[in-house]
Chains A and B, each alone.
Chain A
């Protein structure tokens, strides 16, 4: 029972490069989320999805895009990475908006 799996776990990018972070869940959850975690800032919502084929912006969406083509997968893309996007990225999923979240183990991204 994998729960929520994030790949990759670590990545170093050069400014201007692009990449995609993958989140996969095997719990048949409708809702999926991408948060970033920064020291002193807590967790801030980037984008989320309330079902397959739907996405919505969170608190800090600029510089990121997402797609939810399949219910079990939620992709986070960085089109042109910037040093300000250096962070730990967490994916989470839940049955509903007010249900408890299951988190992935995180992706530590460094942009140099």
Chain B
């Protein structure tokens, strides 16, 4: 079964400090992994997906198949990064299975 675990409900960091939002997954095949972000009073939006290997708003995420992780990182946090972050997985080997989301981590960047 596909499962996404985000172990931290809340993460507080100071402005300018490094950020790492953890995501671990359970999937037997080759997963497609995503990070979505939800700013206050806004809709969820795609932040990045591992297949594109992009850096969006200074965030990066590397898929580590050995550790089954897809942690989201940023070297220097900004106040505008405060938001809810969701890790999500799709299993292309499972046909049309929709995304499975983690429970989310709320990032609070303190000035």
- The A-B contact count (CB < 8 A) is 52
Point out the residues of chain B lying under 8 angstroms from A48, CB to CB. 98
Q: A89 interface residue, CB < 8 Å from B? A: no
> Contact size class for A?
20 to 34
Point out the residues of chain B lying under 8 angstroms from A101, CB to CB. 36, 44, 46, 99
> Contact size class for B?
20 to 34
Q: How does the 8 Å CB contact mask read for B48-66 relative to A, with 1 for contact and 0 for none?
A: 0100000000000000000
Point out the residues of chain A lying under 8 angstroms from B100, CB to CB. 45
Which chain A residue has the least Cβ–Cβ distance from B104? Answer: A42
Point out the residues of chain B lying under 8 angstroms from A103, CB to CB. 43-45
Residues of chain B at the chain A interface (Cβ within 8 Å) = 6, 9, 32, 34, 36, 42-46, 49, 86, 90, 92, 95-104
